[in-house]
Amino acid sequence: RILSGQSTVGSLRARALSMDFGLTQGSAETNQRYGGKSVNNTDNILSINGDVDPWLGLSVTQSQPGSPAIVIPGAGHALWALMSKIDDSDFKKYYDEILEVVSGWLDLRKPARLRRGSSL
């Protein structure tokens, strides 16, 4: 969900947006319209977060059918994306999981005759 106004950072951001751009809070309306953190009835959305990420409270952290969520212990904001960490065994297993999920989605889009493991 969009939680602006429910934390110090959120309330400061909301105030700044209102003062700078004339925007008012519409979190409840936006959450109602788009479902907030509930990504029901969606497919192929992968949410990746670190458990020490300051944005974790605003993130999708629970998997839904067709939309998995991965929370990486000890990772902060976008740390999972750093290629230099790929050989570290703790992060490699999550990278492999991400690769498997996305590869599976891409494989589903191929005609059956072109999928891995199928005979021509």
pLDDT in tens, 72-114: 888 877 655 555 555 677 778 888 899 999 988 887 666 655 5
Shared domain check, 97 and 65: yes
Shared domain check, 89 and 54: yes
**pLDDT value for 5:** 42
The overall pTM is greater than 0.75: no
Shared domain check, 104 and 61: yes
Long-range CB pairs of 29-34 (<8 Å, 24+ gap) are 30/2, 31/1, 31/2
CA 80 from centre of chain: 12
**pLDDT value for 46:** 92
Shared domain check, 48 and 26: no
Shared domain check, 82 and 43: yes
Shared domain check, 77 and 98: yes
Host domain of residue 2:
1-36
**pLDDT value for 32:** 80
Quick check: helix, strand or coil at residue 43?
coil
**pLDDT value for 8:** 52
Count the domains in the chain.
2
Are 26 and 5 contacting, i.e. CB atoms less than 8 angstroms apart? Answer: no
Shared domain check, 46 and 25: no
Shared domain check, 81 and 65: yes
Shared domain check, 95 and 56: yes
